[in-house]
Every structure is written in structure tokens, then in C-alpha cells.
Amino acid sequence: MKHLARSILSGWILMLLLMSVQAGDQLEIGATMPKPNRKMKNVDGKQLSVADIKGKKGTVVAFWCNHCPYVIKYRSRFIELAKKYKDSGFGFITVNANDPEVYAGDNFEKMQEMAKRFSYPFPFVVDVGSVLAEAYGASRTPHIFLFDENDKLVYVGAIDDSTQPEKVKETYLADALDALLAGKPVPNASTRAFGCSIKWYKD
Amino acid sequence: MMKAVSVNTCSGSIRIKKIMDRVTERKGTNVNHNSPKRIRKLQYLMILCAFCFPLRNHANDNLALKDVGPDQYKDLIQSRKAKILVVNFWATWCLPCRREFPAFVKFSQEADNSNAAVIFVSANFTDERKAVMTFLKKYGVKGESYLKTGKDGDFLAAVSDRWRGSLPATIIYGPARKPRFFHAGPMTYDDLVEEVNKIRRTLQEEGSNGGQSKRKEAKP
């Protein structure tokens, strides 16, 4: 009996441990956009919130950075996608939640340089303290969150299903945007992909 | 076993060289000495040599980079005999992965970890094999190492339903490859030892509770 109690207890401890190791839970589908009015510094030096860039049809918030090879692989594809869907009424914003003390390549000057060099068609803001990333439960770059016109999360995950453009079969984000435009439910509401871990600011 | 083969092959290749030298020497002086018998002997030796060369390289280097796709992952972890299996997912260009890497190598080399093993699965892109090999060599990784292939979503689904794909990530499996620990983010050597010891204690308790003879193993 004592053994049984002990094993149940150790099971619980293990479960709690497993739960505690995962940084902030990812926002659930249907959840309301967190911290829409949090102001963050954009590459143009102005303070900007997600609410400021919201689109009539919906909003794409992408956790992004400068250095990550996954971001680099997806950069031009995401830029093209943003250009295409901005005109259809979607707002786009990229957010850098990485602490430049942890990864120097993700500092503000480098962000400005990248935004300029690749003519980012969206704002690229600094999430000091990784506050927005934590509220969203973002864990990597790129990590995409799509909200509908009512600020409800309708899609979370990857841009598409392959880092190699020629191997792409499922264009998850584009499909989700098309579904919103057509007033249909998003086919794959939650997908996963590899990415660089967010370099959380130290407390 | 491997060593014995490699030694044999070495002396074999030296012998071949000697015979070859002799053959070429004689060739110059007298062609008739190249009897069919001698040529056949040479052919046999060459075939033997061809078979043994990969083994010899393997024994010297002992490092191999194999592909692992979503369909092979389960078989891979099942194929390892160690009671506790640590799987580390990393990439050469991932800074926190690079920082934690030596801790995992050290852990894998510790003598008292005989019932635990570490395998590395690189999430590098498939055209970066060379960089992966260079990195593994530099850090003294021995044996088979792995390179993730296939679609990310499929791979992640095969590995864990808890992991959203950020690097690095570590999973520790117990017997029957039941996942006992998962962490997305870097770990230190002490973290790793602590987690493995915790699992050992849990296994010991489960063993004594279930009245099985697992008790005598798994001493922390």
C-alpha cells in the first residue's frame, strides 16, 4: 500500500515536471488575440502594436528573427505571401522576441538592415522581454499565428510543409488565408515545423 | 572483433602491395612470370581487400551519419539496447544546441552510464551533411549518428506530440521506449545527470512495486 502511494506520488511528480519544462502553452485555436495594444519598437523607430496593423479580414503575427536558417529559408516566400494577401485585407507583422544578448545577430540594427535589404512589406518589431511571445506561447522562429476578423486564432504553425520550395505540397498558411476569404473553416488549423528556439530574455 | 579485422586487412593490404610490387618488378623483366595462378591469387586478395576496406574505415573512425525519416524513428529508438535512451535533437547552426552539445557527448562517454545511451539526431537540412560530419568529428562523437529527413510535420508527429519543433530538444526514454522526459530548450550536464537519475529512481520504484526483478539493476 505504501509502495502504491509512493509510486502514485512519483508519477504525479513526474507529470508536474513534464508540464513545467515546457515554456508557455501555445495559444489554443479560437483564443482571442493576446496583448493587442502592446507597443513595440518597429524598424522605422516608431512604436507599433498588433492592433495598429490589424486587417479587415484578419491578421498574421509571425515570430521572426534575423539569424535563424529556417527564417532565411522562408524569408522570400513569406514576403511574397504577405504582398499577395495584404491587398485582400490581411494585416501582417513580424515580431523579434529574441534577446540580442543571447544572439547578437538579432539586434535592432541588424533587424533594420534586414528589413531594408529584403524590402519587408510588413513591420518588424522588437518584443523586449519576449512578453508577446510568452503571451502567445510561441516557441520558435518562424512561428505563425493567424487571427480572423474578430481576433480569434484560426491558424497556428508553419508557413507550409517544406523548407525546400520545390517539395512543398501543403501551403498551410495560404490555404488558411484563402479559407478566411471564402468564409470557410481553415482545413489544417494547427501544424508543426522545425524552427529555432526563441532566445528568451533573461529576467 | 572489428579491430582484428582491421589489423588483418592492414597486413593484407601490405601483402598485396608487396605482391603487386613483385609482379610489376617481374613484369618489367619477364612477362611469363605472370602465371594465371598468380593473377588469380592477386584477384582474390583484391576482392578480400575491397570487402575489408569499409570495415577498416569504420573501425578507425567509428562514426557514421545515417538518415532517419518519420517512418524509421520508432525502429531506431527500439533498436538501441540501453535501458535509458537519451535522444538529442540539434543542428550545427543552432547556438544553444552547440553550447549544450559537449555535455551530451560527455554524458555518453561516462563509464558509469552503462545502462544509458545517447543518440544525436541532427535537424540540419539534408544538403548540410558535410557540416554535420565535421561537427560530430570535432566533438568526438562515436558510432552511428542521424540526420532527420522527410517533412517536418510528419517527423515531429512521429517523435512526440508535445514538441512543436523548436531546437534544441531532448527526450529521455525508459524501457520499452516509453518517453520519461521531454525538454525543448538547452540542458546542462548536471540537468542531464539529474533527469536520468530521477528516471532510474522511478524505474527502481516501479520495479519494486510491481514485484519484478528489476531492483538489482538501475542503481543511480
* pLDDT number for residue B23: 43
Confidence of residue B10 (pLDDT cuts 50, 70, 90): very low
Strand B84-90 and strand B169-173: the pairing is antiparallel
Q: State the cell numbers at B198.
A: 530521477
State which residue of chain B sits closest to A12, comparing Cα positions: B202
Strand ranges, E, within B8-135? 63-68, 84-90, 116-122
Residues of B in contact with A102 (CB under 8 A): 95
Under 8 Å between Cβ of B188 and B104: no
* pLDDT number for residue A4: 54
Confidence of residue B3 (pLDDT cuts 50, 70, 90): very low
What residue type is assigned to position B17 of the chain?
A: K
Confidence of residue B207 (pLDDT cuts 50, 70, 90): confident
Instruction: Give A72 or B22, the one with higher predicted confidence.
Output: A72
- Percent of all residues in chain B with a pLDDT value above 90, rounded to a whole number: 60
- Decide if B156 and A4 are in contact by the 8 Å CB cutoff: no
Once rounded to an integer, what is the mean pLDDT over residues B122-146? 96
* pLDDT number for residue A22: 42
Sequence-separated (6 or more) residues with CB below 8 Å from residue B58 = B2, B64
- Give how far A92 is from chain B: nearest CA, Å: 22
Interface confidence: ipTM more than 0.85 = no
Residue to substitute from B164, B170, B205, B209, interface A, most A β-carbons within 10 A: B164
Residues of B in contact with A196 (CB under 8 A): 94, 166-167
Most confident of B28-37, B61-70, B86-95, B103-112: B86-95
Q: How many CA atoms lie within 13 A of A147 on its CB side?
A: 23
Is pTM, for the whole model, over 0.80? no
Once rounded to an integer, what is the mean pLDDT over residues A118-132? 98
Confidence of residue B165 (pLDDT cuts 50, 70, 90): very high
Nearest to B209 among A7, A143, A192 (CB): A7
Nearest to B183 among A21, A26, A102 (CB): A21
Confidence of residue B62 (pLDDT cuts 50, 70, 90): confident
Confidence of residue A1 (pLDDT cuts 50, 70, 90): low
Under 8 Å between Cβ of A66 and A190: no
Confidence of residue B208 (pLDDT cuts 50, 70, 90): confident
Residues of A in contact with B206 (CB under 8 A): 7
- Say yes or no: A3 contacts chain B, CB-CB below 8 A: yes
DSSP conformation class of B185: S
CA–CA separation, A140 vs A70, rounded Å?
Answer: 10
Q: How many CA atoms lie within 13 A of A112 on its CB side?
A: 9
* pLDDT number for residue B115: 87
Instruction: Give B37 or A45, the one with higher predicted confidence.
Output: A45
pLDDT at A70 over 50: yes
- Give how far B145 is from chain A: nearest CA, Å: 19
Contacting A with CB below 8 Å, chain B residues are: 91, 93-96, 123, 125, 148, 151-153, 155-157, 162-168, 180-185, 198, 201-202, 205-206, 208-209
- Give how far A85 is from chain B: nearest CA, Å: 24
* pLDDT number for residue A6: 58
Once rounded to an integer, what is the mean pLDDT over residues B42-68? 64
Closest C-alpha to B87, from B79, B97, B77: B77
Burial letters A160-178, b for 16+ CB under 10 A, else e = bbbbeeeebebebbbebbe
